[in-house]
Amino acid sequence: MAIRNIREFGDPVLNKVCKEVTEVTPRIRELIEDMLDTMYAANGVGLAAPQVGILKRIVVIDTTGEDPHILINPKIIYTEGEQCGSEGCLSLPGKAGNVTRPMKVKCTAYDVEMNEFTLEGEGLLARAICHECDHLDGHLYTEKVEGDVYETRYEETED
């Protein structure tokens, strides 16, 4: 498969609402494989289709590096609790900010065979589900940051 270019903050595609997927075509399957390859190559835990320039309601998430979740047309149907923590995004490389998200999330989605399923997540997985679903509606985590967005990478200096 292929590694796609990740659209970065300021690209207007990141602020658009994505369209539902009505069938999984060979092109959609290729997109999903490319999204997984792109996410892993960028050391991310999630990636939404608009981040690679495709306005489809598709996200891939893997918070463990061993258990990828492919969510087509995901809808969050339940949230519980609260967690606040540092959150970043592949579309804002080198930046992060503190964001409050639910501690537990339940969503419905379709798999690559268009079979509906339910995914429940807690902690990082819950955060990733919320973050990626926000992308599908044209929202970035920066809209929810408490305080300032900060740099996560530090330049090495010579002493």
Three-class SS string for the chain?
Answer: CCCCCCCCCCCHHHHCCCECCCCCCHHHHHHHHHHHHHHHHCCCCEEEHHHHCCCECEEEECCCCCCCEEEEEEEEEEEECCEEEEEECCCCCCEEEEEEECCEEEEEEECCCCCEEEEEEECHHHHHHHHHHHHHCCCCHHHCCCCCCEECCCCCCCC
Options 66, 132, 151, 155, the catalytic residue: 132
CATH tag, 12-151: 3.90.45.10
Domain ranges of the chain: 12-151
How does pLDDT run across 47-70, given as a tens digit for each residue?
999 999 999 999 999 999 999 999
Least confident range of 14-23, 52-61, 114-123, 146-155: 146-155
**Mean residue pLDDT across the chain:** 95
Does the annotation count 146 as an active-site position?
no
